[in-house]
Amino acid sequence: MSVIEVRNLHKNYGSLQAVDGVDLTIERGEIFAILGPNGAGKTTTVEILEGFRTRNSGEVKVLDFDPQFKGKGARDFRDRIGIVLQATSDAGDLTVAETIHHYAGYYSDPRDANEVIEAIGLGDKKKELVHTLSGGQRRRLDVGLGIVGNPELLFLDEPTTGFDPEARHDFWDLIRGLRDLGTTIVLTTHYLEEAEALADRVAVINRGKILEIGTPANLGDRATSLARVQWESAGIMHEQFTDKPTAAIAKLMHEFDEEIPKLTVSRATLEDIYLKMIEEER
């Protein structure tokens, strides 16, 4: 059963076409990443799904609800979703615990606030004022506020911008844990390794249009693209592109007696594929 259905979505700001005919279907329980350069239309699309923005045309159903509808049902809709906006700087004068406990009181069936604080790794910062937290800690608090309502669907808008690598890995574990509990997650990011580490499927968007949707492993021609074999011979690096890297290495083993110097076999990274897609657009 799909959680999000989008057909032919359009949104413009004056003469700028921010979202230009987007189609999306997001299934229950998956982590879906939306990739794209700055200004591609990621945030606009997600904010339409969250109900923050109105569209110019197209059909949108999120949890069987039209998110731009303001009347009856809008509160029940927001009771079922969690939203982590791009970095904000609000509510600095409350403690971590006060903030999470307070937000829990907005929902019909919230998660236990103390459990949430532990889950986001802020157990020892519980009594600290929010404005004393580091950037990464603050971002985890944002996620805590997004999940305290026990949402079926969680939106994460560039959640790890400004994280150090370790914090980012901890954060990914947290998100995977939520998926394992059955939460559907929609994530925008411009970190390719984040999409690769987390997402079941990714959509690449540029200039308001979806270029492709696929699993990180199969996006573009990645699954079928040629492998690159690199090695050193007589002080010079050589490289060969082949669809039979094993055979290529077997042949090299005959040429060298022992170890093949500086041997690597690699395939296109998600980043290579992504950059190629964006580049072709230009």
Least Å from the CB of residue 194 to other proteins: 22
Q: What is the DSSP letter of 111?
A: P
Binding site for other proteins (CB under 8 A): 50-53, 75-76, 78-79, 81, 83, 85, 88-91, 93-94, 98, 102-103, 105-109, 129, 145, 149
Helix boundaries (H) for 12-152:
42-50, 74-80, 96-104, 113-119, 135-147
Q: Which helix (H) or strand (E) holds 249?
A: helix 245-255
Least Å from the CB of residue 47 to other proteins: 9
Least Å from the CB of residue 190 to other proteins: 20
For other proteins, the closer of residues 51 and 208 by Cβ is 51
CB atoms within 10 A of CB 254: 7
Least Å from the CB of residue 109 to other proteins: 5
For other proteins, the closer of residues 117 and 268 by Cβ is 117
Q: What is the Cα–Cα distance from 270 to 202, expressed in whole angstroms?
A: 10
Identify the burial level of 122 via C-beta atoms within 10 angstroms of its C-beta, where 0-12 means exposed, 13-18 middle and 19 or more buried.
buried
Least Å from the CB of residue 162 to other proteins: 16
What count of Cα atoms within 13 Å lies in the side-chain half-sphere of residue 149? 23
Q: What is the Cα–Cα distance from 237 to 274, expressed in whole angstroms?
A: 26
For other proteins, the closer of residues 151 and 216 by Cβ is 151
For other proteins, the closer of residues 158 and 206 by Cβ is 158
For other proteins, the closer of residues 17 and 240 by Cβ is 17
Residue corresponding to tokens 């990739």:
35
